[in-house]
Amino acid sequence: MTNINSIGLDATKSAQLVTSLNTLLSSYQIQYMNARGFHWNIKGRDFFELHLKFEEIYTQLLLKVDEIAERILTIEGQPLHAFSDYLANSKITEAKNISDGRAALENVLTGYSTLISMQREILATAAEADDEGTASLMSDYIKEQEKLVWMLRAYLD
């Protein structure tokens, strides 16, 4: 009996990736909701600029949520889809009642640092599993988010 799934990957290694990707998916969902909340609740002198920036951020996060869920399905896993599961599995915590721009940006930066770290781990695991699709996705996310982190840090300085 073979242990190869329908796209030619080792099923056991794919199952390990599904677990990691579901944790990543959960973390993205919380990062998304945090950014959405900052967009809604931001106040102060930088309101107009940050309101638009948070909308840009949460829009990009939502696209990635869909891509991650579809990648999980592609490697024959089941994406989590209940918010209670996201809260239980996320490595990012909910941010509540933040309306200060600096505090919101620092929260976003902390979340992206967590996502980048998780994605590096998944990238290494995917490479070991010969899963080029997952590795490519993680590599693209890391490159994009490293630049965003640099820009947000520059804004805060």
For the stretch 96-142, pLDDT in tens is: 999 999 999 999 999 999 999 999 999 999 999 999 999 999 999 99
Q: Is residue 44 part of a domain?
A: yes
In-domain check, residue 47: yes
In a domain, 133, yes or no: yes
The answer to whether residue 6 sits within a structural domain is: no
User: 7 vs 3, 55, 123, CA distance in Å?
Assistant: 12, 36, 18
Please tell me the total count of domains within the chain: 1
pTM, to two decimals: 0.97
- Any domain includes 4: no
For residues 100 and 114, give the distance between their C-alpha atoms in angstroms, rounded to a whole number.
21
Would residue 48 count as lying in a domain?
yes
Whole domain around residue 38: which residue ranges?
A: 11-156
Look up the CATH number of the domain holding residue 63: 1.20.1260.10
**Is 145 inside a domain boundary?**
yes
pLDDT digits (tens), the chain, 157 positions: 579 999 999 999 999 999 999 999 999 999 999 999 999 999 999 999 999 999 999 999 999 999 999 999 999 999 999 999 999 999 999 999 999 999 999 999 999 999 999 999 999 999 999 999 999 999 999 999 999 999 999 999 9
Is residue 29 in a domain?
Answer: yes
